[in-house]
A = this chain, B = another copy of it.
Amino acid sequence: MREVVILGVGMHKFGRFDGMDFTEMGSVAIQNAMKDADIVWKDIEAAFCGNTYGDTASGHRIVAQIGLTGIPIVNVENACSSSGSALRLAYQEIAAGIYDTVLAFGWEQQPRGFITSTAFPAYQRAMGMSILPAQYAMLARRHMVEYGTTVKHLAKISVKNHKNGYYNPYAHYQVLLTEEQVLNSRMVCDPLTLYMCCPTSHGAAAAVLCSKTKARRYTTKPITVAAAVLASGKYQSPACDHINYYMGSAVELSGKLAYEAAGLGPEDINIVETHEAMANAEIEQCEELGICEKGEYTQLLDAGETEITGRIPVNPSGGLLARGHPLGATSLAQVAEVVWQLREQAGPRQVNNPKVGLCHTTGSGPNSCVTILKK
């Protein structure tokens, strides 16, 4: 398999853009990525579009705004991992030598209101597992019981990520919050208050992937895709339908496979973008991805190690909590952030000299997607 790099990344700002045509939003992200890659449109040989709630063939309709050139276009719907899954397919086609230059993009105009939990069986939804915060709240409570995590830790994560997002011009929110504000915001699902839950956003993101050989024409400093991995969860019995309790197994498996593919370990990661749809997810996911031992994330947090200035910055972009969460665009927004960080283009939120970054999204299914990028 050939080495694959990211030539360019681009975003459309995350936020609420009611009334904007999604094709405009998507094309802005693509055109920004094309400009960043400094290549021309006819060089794109295939495209993958991540989207969850949009209408049919949305990727085609976005590409049509730029120019239909006959290329294969595939729309990928993997819930919150949609555009990460799109990137992985682009990666595979280049690694396999099928194409040299492939576009991955994603978009969403997420409806207002908390995201519903379609992955739950109907009888569980009827009993209260109707929105995603309900699921995360149970995980949060369990972590508190098992490891002594507190609501103050959850507030700290929200404060940190909003502080990071304050410096990200693409973030949905540029607002500084205090722990008190987070703790005193409206209760959604105990222990999760409103500011511990990600907003539902509109937005788009894109990346141009290229074989390392061909990339030499365009840049001397490409960012290498060290791993692009997708996994589903496991459970022991086909009769068991509580699949969301097995989300953790999907995250662990995707991390394990990604480290193997990259020939790296969690100790090599300098920067992490996680899928903290609710504040507690940052804790559980970092632990499942081996960034620290189980139950030890809050120690890193308390010691300031996960700040931009710390040893292992987590969600320097602002994460889902502040950068926002347009489902189909989230994975590639993480990738854009890590690319900017590795190139040292992240301005006031620049991490000190990172070499390797990890992006992680997880969604219904369960599915979990990990992309490891390195200088």
List the interface of chain A (C-beta within 8 A of B): 1, 51-53, 55-57, 60-61, 63-79, 85, 88-89, 92-93, 95-98, 118-119, 229-235, 238, 241, 243, 246, 249-250, 253, 363-367
Contact = CB atoms under 8 A, between A and B. Distances in A.
A71 B234 CA distance: 9
B238 A363 contact: no
Given A72-B231, A73-B78, A73-B230, 9 more contacts: A56-B119, A57-B77, A57-B118, A57-B363, A63-B232, A68-B366, A71-B232, A73-B232, A77-B77
A274 to B, nearest CB: 20
Contact of A74 (B66, B73, B89, B249): B89
A113 B29 CA distance: 35
A366 B60 contact: yes
A56 B364 contact: yes
A259 to B, nearest CB: 15
Residue of A1, A73, A364, A365 ringed by the most chain B CB atoms within 10 A: A365
A119 B68 CA distance: 13
27 contacts: A53-B56, A56-B79, A56-B363, A57-B78, A57-B79, A57-B363, A60-B119, A60-B232, A60-B243, A60-B366, A60-B367, A61-B365, A64-B365, A67-B238, A68-B232, A68-B234, A69-B232, A70-B234, A71-B231, A71-B232, A72-B88, A72-B231, A74-B78, A74-B230, A76-B76, A89-B89, A95-B96
A81 to B, nearest CB: 9
